[in-house]
């Protein structure tokens, strides 16, 4: 594995268009970027590769090749090296280290979203500063790395952050109470929260997760219009950003969902997609889809690690409400997920 070290803002400013980022965003990007090494003769990428990565040369020289011919040699520190190496996707050149080199690579979708967002003036709208929140852009950068945000137009991203409200919280404070109506979607800007669910056998609650900056919570109740299914409390003092239910549904939830009818769902499954049923175990006795995976919605976050990221999932429940909540959670994490419109009732009989 190549050796890696942290990048810094001075290094990133030497590249285009990274140099155009605001200082806060450049700092956040530097924290997530590593300087990697590659030995002479090894390839950074090859002709036809389609991975969306912007690759910048930090030290050494790289040959841009087509077949067995060297078309150009890029040397670190030159004007040519300020731009990403052969950025076209799929790659029209191969890039081979002409000597031992150092380089950085940045996910192109993430950077495009970051650059667009950087130009919208959200800092002024939110009035965030380095003195009020430690690492203020870290939670925002984390959100922008999700596929859900990368698919959004810059104007929508700007609107979301402008409409978010900032709240200061103390350790032990209850943010969400199990059994209450859903009103807000929350993002942790600083501090840590714990998520617990009360059961008939455990009134103190079973700990489901501990969350930190960049994590979100509270979306299931907003999507399903059901009661909160867990309690969220602050473990430390911290800052949360919250978005009202109506804005969440309009700006975040609905644009991320991909609905399919029965015929489209069956076509996807025939091509390799998997049915994913999010109903309760007791509901499976009435209607059950053959070979469907089963993860009840209340266990969904705990079982996400069992799903395969490059598999297409068609989610279903009785009427589409719970499956749309699960599909949103998957879309946040980059999964290709579809919702069966109308739920299993629309199928008539199990496929």
Which segment, 24-38, 99-113, 169-183, 250-264, is predicted with the most confidence on average? 169-183
What pTM does this model have?
0.54
- Is position 115 within any domain? no
pLDDT tens digits for range 196-212: 888 767 667 788 888 88
Q: Are residues 130 and 26 in the same domain?
A: no
Residue 346, pLDDT above cutoff 90 = no
The pLDDT value recorded for residue 133 is 38
Domain C-terminal end among 218, 252, 286: 252
Please state which of the ranges 152-156, 199-203, 347-351 shows the lowest mean pLDDT. 347-351
pLDDT band, very low/low/confident/very high, at 130 (cuts 50, 70, 90): very low
Pair (40, 95) in one structural domain: yes
Average pLDDT over residues 23-45: 88
Output the average pLDDT for the chain. Answer: 83
Residues 221 and 277 in one domain: no
161 or 137, which is more confident: 161
Highest mean pLDDT among 10-24, 81-95, 105-119, 319-333: 81-95
Number of domains in the chain: 3
Q: What is the mean pLDDT of residues 260-289?
A: 89
| Highest mean pLDDT out of 16-25, 151-160, 168-177, 321-330 | 168-177
Instruction: Grade residue 110 by pLDDT with cuts at 50, 70 and 90.
Output: confident
Identify whether residues 278 and 332 lie together within a single domain. Answer: yes
CATH of the domain at 342: 3.40.250.10
Q: Tell me: the pLDDT tens digits for 282-320?
A: 788 777 888 899 998 878 878 888 999 889 999 998 888
Question: How far is the C-alpha of 41 from the C-alpha of 139, rounded, in Å?
Answer: 39
User: Do 124 and 247 reside in the same domain of the chain?
Assistant: yes
Least confident range from 16-25, 175-184, 215-224: namely 16-25
Note whether residue 178 is domain-resident: yes
Residue 217 within any structural domain of the chain: yes
- pLDDT tens readout for residues 46-86: 999 988 899 999 999 999 999 889 999 999 999 999 989 99
Residues 246 and 133 in one domain: yes
> Looking at the structure, do residues 188 and 244 belong to the same domain, yes or no?
yes
SS3 track for the chain: CCCEEECCHHHHCCCCCHHHCCHHHHHHHHHCCEEEEECCCCEEECCCCCCCEEEEEEECEEEEEECCEEEEEEECCCCHHHCCCCCCCCCCCEEEECCCEEEEEEEHHHHHHHHHHHCCCHHHHHCCCCCCCCCCCHHHHHHHCCHHHHCCCHHHHHHHHHHCEEEEECCCCEEECCCCECCEEEEEEECCEEEEECCCCCCCCEEEEEECCCCEECHHHHHHCCECCCEEEECCCEEEEEEEHHHHHHHHHHHHCCEECHHHHHHHHHCCCEEEECCCHHHHHCCCCCCCEECCHHHHHHHHHHCCCCCEEEEECCCCHHHHHHHHHHHHCCCEEEEECCCHHHCCCCC
Query: Same structural domain for residues 191 and 286?
Result: no
Question: Is residue 351 included in any domain, yes or no?
Answer: no
- Does one domain contain both 228 and 267? no
> Is residue 288 situated within a structural domain?
yes
Query: Which of 252, 286, 308 is a domain's end point?
Result: 252
In a domain, 114, yes or no: no
In a domain? residue 127: yes
| 124 and 248 together in one domain | yes
Indicate if the pLDDT at residue 262 is higher than 80.
Answer: yes
Domain coverage including residue 200: 120-252
More confident residue, 101 or 281: 101
Do 12 and 101 sit in the same domain of this protein? yes
Co-location of 98 and 137 in the same domain = no
Of 35-44, 78-87, 160-169, which has the strongest mean pLDDT? 35-44
What pLDDT was estimated at residue 277?
94
> Considering only 95-109, 132-146, 312-326, which range has the smallest mean pLDDT?
132-146
Over pLDDT 90: what percentage of the chain?
38
Question: Rounded to an integer, what distance in angstroms lies between the CA atom of residue 127 and that of residue 299?
Answer: 37
- pLDDT exceeds cutoff 50 at 132: no
What's the CATH code of the domain at 55?
Answer: 2.60.120.10
Which of 206, 228, 252 terminates a domain? The answer is 252
Q: Is 112 within a domain?
A: no
């Amino acid at each position: 594995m190549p050796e890696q070290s942290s990048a810094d803002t001075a290094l990133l400013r030497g590249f285009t268009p990274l140099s155009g980022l605001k200082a806060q965003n450049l700092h956040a990007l530097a924290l997530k970027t590593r300087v990697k090494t590659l030995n002479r003769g090894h390839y950074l990428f090859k002709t036809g590769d389609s991975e969306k990565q912007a690759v910048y040369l930090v030290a050494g020289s790289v040959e841009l090749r087509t077949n067995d011919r060297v078309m150009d040699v890029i040397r670190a520190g030159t004007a040519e090296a300020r731009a990403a190496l052969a950025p076209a996707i799929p790659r029209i050149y191969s890039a081979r280290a002409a000597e031992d080199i150092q380089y950085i690579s940045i996910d192109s979708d993430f950077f495009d979203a970051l650059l667009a967002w950087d130009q919208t003036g959200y800092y002024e709208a939110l009035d965030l500063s380095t003195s009020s929140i430690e690492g203020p852009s870290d939670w925002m950068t984390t959100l922008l790395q999700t596929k859900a945000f990368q698919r959004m137009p810059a104007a929508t991203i700007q609107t979301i952050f402008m409409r978010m409200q900032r709240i200061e919280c103390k350790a032990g404070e209850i943010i969400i109470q199990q059994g209450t109506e859903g009103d807000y979607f929350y993002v942790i800007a600083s501090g840590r929260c714990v998520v617990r669910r009360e059961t008939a056998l455990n009134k103190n609650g079973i700990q489901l997760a501990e969350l930190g900056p960049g994590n979100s919570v509270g979306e299931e109740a907003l999507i399903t219009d059901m009661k909160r299914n867990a309690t969220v409390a602050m473990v430390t003092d911290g800052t949360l950003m919250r978005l009202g239910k109506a804005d969440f549904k309009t700006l975040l939830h609905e644009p991320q969902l991909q609905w399919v009818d029965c015929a489209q769902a069956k076509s996807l499954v025939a091509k390799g997609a998997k049915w994913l049923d999010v109903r309760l175990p007791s509901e499976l006795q009435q209607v059950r889809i053959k070979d469907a995976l089963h993860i009840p919605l209340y266990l969904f976050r705990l079982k996400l690690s069992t799903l395969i990221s490059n598999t297409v999932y068609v989610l279903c429940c009785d009427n589409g409400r719970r499956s749309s909540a699960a599909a949103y959670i998957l879309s946040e994490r980059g999964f290709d997920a579809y919702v069966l419109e109308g739920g299993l009732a629309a199928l008539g009989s199990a496929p």
